[in-house]
Amino acid sequence: MAMNSTIVSLLEGVSLINDTDQPGFSGSGKQTMCSYPTSFHEVDYISTYIYLLAIPTICVLGSGAAIMCIVVFTRKQMRSSLNVYLAGLSVFDLILLSFSALIFSPLQGCVLQGHGDTAVCHFFWRSTPWTLPISNIAQCGSVWTCVAVTVDRFLAVNYPLHSKIWCTPRRATFILGIITVFSIVFKAPMFFELTNDECGRLRTSFLRDNKYYKEYYVTFGYLIALLLVPWAIMIALNIFVVKAVHKAYKIRRSMQGGKNNQEEKDRRNSLRCTLMAIAMVLTFLVFNIVAAVNNLAETVWEVSLGFWSPIGNLLICLNSASNIVIYSLFGARFRQMCVLMLCGRQSRWMEWLKVGRYPAQSMVSDWDGRDGTTRKTSLDASTALLSARSSRRWSKRSQSGAPNQPAVRKDTVIYTSAQNRLSLQSTPS
């Protein structure tokens, strides 16, 4: 990850790596009074602006958005294999954004203070050996979760019948657990890369300085596990998915007729989910290109790209914070759930989402008392009441009702395009 090479380069710049004559130690190796640098380096305004202003702002806003995504995607109404992956991705984004704010702001604050004996520097020195590996675990998890999303959409588009058996929420949860365990095991050595000297200052450990560790784990491990394999899978499968989506849209345009049946609506919803996944993966690839190039340059060719390193870190945080925008653009139900949670059912925004944006449709909210879930189905306004009557539970209950009177289930909420858009109908006495 770009932030790891950034911190190592910083340590090399202040001569805290492999320094046999460190301040605070005599030539015989006995500890003396700690001394700290008194000279200040020239201020890098690009890094200062990014690390002290841009990244903290993005991390705060993105963390709030990630929490909202987690709450929405874990609701029973949103339960599907894709939403399980998106909920897991939101958890990784939340961890990455939270710990990035704890790394980069103290990092630049310590640089501006000349790596002196200050509270900011001591916080950065003491926290980084733990926060940096955790943030890298979250990034590794987010990479492979994007791969899982790509595979899920590839199966849904190319094998629509089999995908209903293969792509289940339980199986998605199991795969997400495998991704988490793999990320922790793969990034566990990073907990032993950085340590503190007797004065509390940050320095690299013997493991990080080992030539074979840097060559095989840091370089080739990153190339294979976080760059070549996942990116190749995402790019290859997305090519097939994009072709399948384009073909599906051509079929839709060639179809003629009046109202869409339920099968056509399900196909349209599947296409929206697929487009959302494609946009999310493409955004991930674009925003991580700079960080990938930085890591390759600094680990393979041992060349520093200067200000491109903070820009790469900024784009990583921006990618994690911007996923909610993609979900909102492509997910109608996601928008409705967010507005419902933030503004309430009586909000004007809720009415606009249900009526103003889709005037020819209404929504039936079917509460199932057996498992406590609410299942919403988009229906034409003229057939909403008829669909509610066709429910099996309503049929059993309506047999005892009065004749010649339209009966409606007690637990059915029907949204119509009339002025009173939200009406709770009760069974007539």
- Name all domains of the chain by residue range, CATH numbers in brackets: 1-13+39-253+266-351 (1.20.1070.10)
Tell me the C-alpha distance between 318 and 284, whole Å.
10
- pLDDT at 71 exceeding the cut of 70: yes
Question: What's the mean pLDDT in 113-117?
Answer: 84
| Reported confidence tier of residue 372, pLDDT bands at 50, 70, 90 | very low
The confidence score (pLDDT) of residue 248 equals: 74
pLDDT of residue 114: 83
pLDDT confidence bin for 315, thresholds 50/70/90: very high
- Band (100; pLDDT cuts 50, 70, 90): very high
Residue 59 has pLDDT above 60, yes or no: yes
More confident residue, 99 or 383: 99
Q: What is the pTM of this model?
A: 0.75
